[in-house]
């Protein structure tokens, strides 16, 4: 790797402007509106990429916008997306990346634009072109840059530096694989993609601990579960009801590529559930992402890096160096961190019978990861 020849001047994130940016984002334009009714989903197309958009959709195109309409700026905003998985170390990875002199730290890790905003805005951008007949790439990217990124830090900071790059660390992007890949690859086909995968059984239990802890401290958010078994039972039932699990005993290319599975998965992800089991069905999600990368002419060998969460936890330096090499960023020595996001919410252990039950569910999906990702993933979570 190259040694760093220049140091970018980052936007100084003081306690005051971090608080201001976070509050502004939490009360932002996309969270003030109710979600798109399910009845309107049929009119939203994620299959057609409209690369040229000359209508502006009432958007004010000023000199500042025009000055950013260049390849160099676009390729930095966004530069890389950490797609997931939730509770697999994405917070730590984004924090590590944010220490690099060429990465502009953002006070908000999960931007949630390509899933929640494009899902939840009643005046959805995806409904404004050709009667909802496609993804208007220019408009989608423009809103992302000006209203999402620009709502957090001044875009002039990024304009003035040819080095600073933006990381979007939204772990929902991996799971929403029926619609997010098309949106991302249409609007930002240059973006690098990072994925962290954790043993799906441990990942589900970690999610339960996080959710239970939050509910204990905020009883108004109670979701109707107490034990881990109740938590996963609800999800397994839904996965069976919508047709994701009931045909998954033998997982093969025909099953993963079937329209039936895509329809079932799309229905499941739009229900807005906690999805402790569904989030661990990595083979489905990665298959969708890989297929869309192929459709958009994007090389998964150079533009997608999938890492084992356990490896990053046990050998942080080597894994981080691999990430920098993948991103073609200069060498960088990580500062000394303590454990990041190590949760100690509950001391109760998972019942062995519950672990065995989940291992049986995940086994065919884990086996197919070997076919998708190679021998390094053979039996990685077999214990």
* Cα–Cα distance, 141 to 73 (Å, whole number): 12
**Rounded distance between C-alpha atoms, residue 383 and residue 381, angstroms:** 5
Query: Which phi and psi angles does 267 have, rounded to 5°?
Result: -60, -45
* Residue of 127, 147, 114, 139 whose CA lies nearest to 52: 139
Sequence-ordered list of residues with C-beta below 8 angstroms from that of 134, at least 6 positions apart, any chain: 45, 47, 48, 49, 50, 126
CA 331 → CA 75, 99, 126, 196, 327, distances in Å? Answer: 20, 12, 40, 21, 11
Contact status, residue 378 vs residue 370, Cβ threshold 8 Å? yes
Length of the chain counted residue by residue = 383
Q: Was 206 annotated as part of a binding site?
A: yes
4 is in an annotated binding site: no
Residue 157 burial by Cβ neighbours in a 10 Å radius (0-12, 13-18, 19+): middle
Q: What SS3 class is residue 9?
A: coil
Is residue 361 within 8 A of residue 281, CB to CB? The reply is: no
Task: Find the farthest-apart pair of alpha carbons in the chain and give their distance in angstroms, rounded.
Answer: 63
Count of C-beta atoms within a 10 Å radius of residue 87: 25
Which residues are known to be catalytic?
87
* CA 259 – CA 103 distance, rounded (Å): 39
- The structure tokens 């000055």 sit at 67
Q: What is the DSSP string of 101-168?
A: TTB---S-S---IIIIIHHH-TT-GGGSSTTT-SEEHHHHHHHIIIIIITTTS-HHHHHH-SS-B-EE
Known binding residues for 3'-phosphoadenylyl sulfate are 198, 206
């Amino acid at each position: 790797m190259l040694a760093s020849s220049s140091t970018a001047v980052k936007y100084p994130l003081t306690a005051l402007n971090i608080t201001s940016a976070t509050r502004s984002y939490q009360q932002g334009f996309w969270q003030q509106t109710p979600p798109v009714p399910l009845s309107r989903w049929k009119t939203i197309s994620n299959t057609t990429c409209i690369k040229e958009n000359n209508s502006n959709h009432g958007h004010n195109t000023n000199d500042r916008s025009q000055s950013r309409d260049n390849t160099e700026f676009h390729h930095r905003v966004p530069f890389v997306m950490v797609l997931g998985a939730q509770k697999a170390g994405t917070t730590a990875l984004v924090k590590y990346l944010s220490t690099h002199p060429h990465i502009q730290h953002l006070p908000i890790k999960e931007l949630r634009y390509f899933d929640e905003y494009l899902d939840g805005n009643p005046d959805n951008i995806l409904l404004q072109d050709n009667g909802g007949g496609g993804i208007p790439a220019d408009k989608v990217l423009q809103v992302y840059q000006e209203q999402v990124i620009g709502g957090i830090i001044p875009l002039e900071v990024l304009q003035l530096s040819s080095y600073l790059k933006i990381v979007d660390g939204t772990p929902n992007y991996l799971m929403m694989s029926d619609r997010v890949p098309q949106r991302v690859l249409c609007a930002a086909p240059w973006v690098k993609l990072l994925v962290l995968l954790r043993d799906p059984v441990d990942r589900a239990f970690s999610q339960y601990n996080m959710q239970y802890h939050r509910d204990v401290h905020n009883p108004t958010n109670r979701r109707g579960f107490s034990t881990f078994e109740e938590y996963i039972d609800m999800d397994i039932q839904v996965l069976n009801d919508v047709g994701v699990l009931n045909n998954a005993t033998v997982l093969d290319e025909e099953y993963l590529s079937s329209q039936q599975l895509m329809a079932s998965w799309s229905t499941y992800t739009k229900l807005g559930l906690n999805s402790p089991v569904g989030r661990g069905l990595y083979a489905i999600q990665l298959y969708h992402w890989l297929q869309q990368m192929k459709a958009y002419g994007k090389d998964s060998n150079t533009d997608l890096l999938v890492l084992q969460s356990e490896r990053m936890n046990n050998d942080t330096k080597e894994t981080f160096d691999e990430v920098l090499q993948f991103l073609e960023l200069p060498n960088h020595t990580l500062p000394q961190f303590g454990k990041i996001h190590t949760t100690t919410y509950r001391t109760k252990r998972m019942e062995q019978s519950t672990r065995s039950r989940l291992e049986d569910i995940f086994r065919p999906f884990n086996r197919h990861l070997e076919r998708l990702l190679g021998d390094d993933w053979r039996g990685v979570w077999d214990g």
